[in-house]
Amino acid sequence: MHSEIMQLPVLSAQTLTNQASTTLVDNFGRAITYLRLAVTDRCNLRCAYCMPEDMRFLPTKELLTDAEIVRLVEVCAALGIRKVRVTGGEPFVRKGIMGLLREIKQTRGIEDVHITTNGVLTAPHVPEMEKLGIASVNLSMDTFDEKRFFELTRRNEFRAVWGSFEALAASPIPLSVNAVIMDGKNSDDVIAMSEQTKHRNFIMRFIEEMPFNGGTHKVVAPVWTYKKILSALQEAFPSIEALGRHDHAATAELYRIPGYAGQVGIIAGFSRTFCGACNRIRITAKGILKTCLYDNGVLDLKRLLREGASDDAVKEAIIIAVQHRFRDGFEAERHTHSASAAFDSMSEIGG
């Protein structure tokens, strides 16, 4: 059945029938309510786990236009998507991002809009984000050490990012900080970063490294698995308490250090412990639908739009794709990636 998935990108609008639906449910009974939307692949950092130093970004015409993005969000909302995470690449390098966020937020049916950002350009927008009612922000910072920040991101932007951290921590918008943990690079920052939650109410989340780096290096299995991260935390904070997940489909396992204002979290992105409850789809920077992070893209939405497909035809194509989902990230990887092929950069996919 999954060989059909790989043919979905060549489905044309004309081959689709006109079915209506208001809830997206996949072939394993999982309701799909959450869209991660990459609004650009461009970025002002060069994190080593995400892209090569000489990353080649897509030509502008390959990216979705604002009108295409808004239309796709409307179509997804009509299908039952309620939560959108705007990501990239770096969302704040896209021209007119605040206007686009407002349009997404105002889309009928969309309840929550979240943002994932690297913080280089974010601080000045925090007041407007508050006014817009942005539901939460994930800020990526793999270390709180300036010199190490430069080594990890290859850009000298620590102070700007720290400014965004402070602005977000002081705002009422719920904040999580994401750090991808790499052996010998920032693995000894885990405890120092957790300590920052002592007096500040944010969630410090540690992420297993995944292979989505545009071919810079092979990630066969990360040394810092969720188990290793947890045992480092338990060793440093013996009274740490497990809180479980924020909701059934959340990817982070949360923990609390007694007496600390914030929380810590662990995301097993490589070990894929959460696929059974996955409620997410993605639209990549070039308008490809992914129903699993580890698949190769299952439907060319941009092409459908640019060929003049009606909203009903686009909905129908999304429904078909969702009804052919892989069971989990391991099955997706087995079916779509040969051992020698490089994975795309997370900046194009939308992390």
Binding site for ligand SAM (CB under 6 A): 43, 49-50, 87-88, 90, 116-118, 140, 178, 180, 207, 209-210, 212-213, 269, 346-347, 351
Q: Pick one of 11, 24, 75, 90: the residue that binds ligand SF4 (CB under 6 A).
A: 90
Q: Pick one of 2, 46, 200, 335: the residue that binds ligand SF4 (CB under 6 A).
A: 46
Interaction between residue 257 and ligand SF4 (CB under 6 A) = no
3-state secondary structure the chain: CCHHHHHHHHCCHHHCCCCCCCCEECCCCCEECEEEEECCCCCCCCCCCCCCCCCCCCCHHHCCCHHHHHHHHHHHHHHCCCEEEEECCCHHHCCCHHHHHHHHHHCCCCCEEEEEECCCCCHHHHHHHHHHCCCEEEEECCCCCHHHHHHHHCCCCHHHHHHHHHHHHHCCCCEEEEEEECCCCCHHHHHHHHHCCCCCCCEEEEEECCCCECCCCCCCCCCCCHHHHHHHHHHHCCCCEEEECCCCCCCEEEEECCCCCCEEEEECCCCCCCHHHCCEEEECCCCEEECCCCCCCCEEHHHHHHCCCCHHHHHHHHHHHHCCCCCCHHHHHHHHCCCCCCCCEHHHHCC
| Closer Cβ to ligand SF4, 148 or 256, answer by number | 148
| Closer Cβ to ligand SAM, 313 or 350, answer by number | 350
| Closer Cβ to ligand SF4, 232 or 346, answer by number | 346
Binding residues among 112-171 for ligand SF4 as defined by CB under 6 A: 118, 140
Interaction between residue 45 and ligand SF4 (CB under 6 A) = yes
Residue 222 interaction partner, one of ligand SF4, ligand SAM, none, beta carbon < 5-8 Å per kind = none
Residue 46 interaction partner, one of ligand SF4, ligand SAM, none, beta carbon < 5-8 Å per kind = ligand SF4
Interaction between residue 186 and ligand SF4 (CB under 6 A) = no
Compute the least distance from the CB of residue 161 to ligand SF4, in Å: 9
Binding residues among 47-86 for ligand SF4 as defined by CB under 6 A: 47, 50-51
| Closer Cβ to ligand SF4, 33 or 116, answer by number | 116
Using the rule CB under 6 A, give the single segment among 44-52, 63-71, 307-315, 318-326 that binds ligand SF4.
Answer: 44-52
| Closer Cβ to ligand SAM, 116 or 296, answer by number | 116
| Closer Cβ to ligand SF4, 46 or 335, answer by number | 46
Show the CA angle centred on residue 289, arms to residues 287 and 293, nearest 5°.
120
Residues that bind ligand SF4 in the complex, under the rule CB under 6 A: 43, 45-47, 50-51, 88-90, 118, 140, 346-347
